[in-house]
Amino acid sequence: MNAESPKAEELNLPQAFLLLATSDTDGKPEIPVFALRTTLAGAILAELERTGAIELRGKHVRDTGTTPETDFQRELDLIRHKSRPHTPRRWVSMLEGRSEVQRVYESMASLGIVEQVGEKHLGLFRTMRYPEKDHAPEAALMKKLEAALTDTRIAPQVPETTDSGPGTPEAGAAAAAKPAAKGPDARILALIALLEAAGLLPKLFPEADRVWVDELAKDYWPARAVEDELRLIRLAEEERATL
């Protein structure tokens, strides 16, 4: 990695997910487009939670009132100013879209990680692809993910969310149970959960222990929201196919 290459830990969760979900050579998604857009929406929620801007209270996503620096201020403002709260799955449904994916790709292009390549249709640029330009950030991410997936001596650090909300004995017990020691940080574990929800983790790490993957990825609410939304999308597709 040269001095100008962005470090893996400098990438936000949507960037990290999209980088791993895109073919290095042709710049096309490695998973269906609907799964890419849905999981990216979940990654945006995960990033906002990671920076302390939002949290899950009971069944709804809530603004914490803090103002961290974030690349997703527009999404945070949507959550902050909604007249009534929504569930995580509902927010995933509201945030998923082509424009969000495009914006994250363009942010990585500006960092020199990928390059923007257009495909012409009838003389017009209609399809954009983002093949890899600098492999160092992805290689560093893969190394961190592999370490987390192979070291079964460590305990997951992705916090479990209770239905009781903050300030309750249950929430306090969950916070006290967080391991303070070594092992992968919450960001890497969040990425594992998102990759698993998207169906991408087995493609990236086919030899990973599935029981350990489940242990690492369980009970992470942004990933659960992605899984719930993808399930509804697939059910809708199946219904349309039978009409």
Eight-class DSSP state of 32: -
What pLDDT digit, counting tens, does each position of 169-203 carry? Answer: 444 444 434 434 456 789 999 999 999 999 999 99
- Dump pLDDT digits (tens) for 92-102: 999 999 999 99
Instruction: Round to whole Å and give the CA distance between 234 and 196.
Output: 17
Residue, of 128 and 148, whose pLDDT is higher: 148
**Average pLDDT of every residue of the chain:** 86
What residue has token string 């890419």? 36
Please determine, for residue 115, whether its predicted confidence score (pLDDT) is greater than 90: yes
pLDDT of residue 9: 66
What is the C-alpha to C-alpha distance for residues 224 and 13, in angstroms, rounded to an integer?
16
Highest mean pLDDT among 94-98, 119-123, 155-159: 94-98
Residue 17 identity: F
Label residue 13 by pLDDT band (50, 70, 90). Answer: very high
pLDDT band at residue 154 using 50, 70 and 90 as cut-offs: low
Higher pLDDT, 237 or 167: 237
pLDDT confidence of 147, banded at 50, 70, 90? very high
Predicted pLDDT of residue 121: 62
> From the CB of residue 174, how many other CB atoms can be counted at a distance below 10 Å?
16
Per-residue pLDDT tens for 48-75?
Answer: 999 999 999 999 999 999 989 999 999 9
pTM recorded for the entire structure: 0.84
pLDDT tens digits, one per residue of 199-232: 999 999 999 999 999 988 888 999 999 999 999 9
* Mean pLDDT on 131-153: 91
Residues near 87 by beta carbon (within 8 Å), at least 6 away in sequence: 59, 60, 61, 225
Please give the pLDDT value at position 118: 81
Alpha-helical (H) ranges within 51-185 are 73-81, 88-95, 98-110, 136-150, 169-176
Contact (Cβ atoms closer than 8 angstroms) between residue 23 and residue 131: yes
Of 225, 231, 227, 235, the residue nearest 59 (C-alpha): 225
The fold of the 8-242 domain, in CATH, is: yeast vps74-n-term truncation variant fold (1.10.3630)
Rounded Cα gap, residues 56 and 49, in angstroms? 9
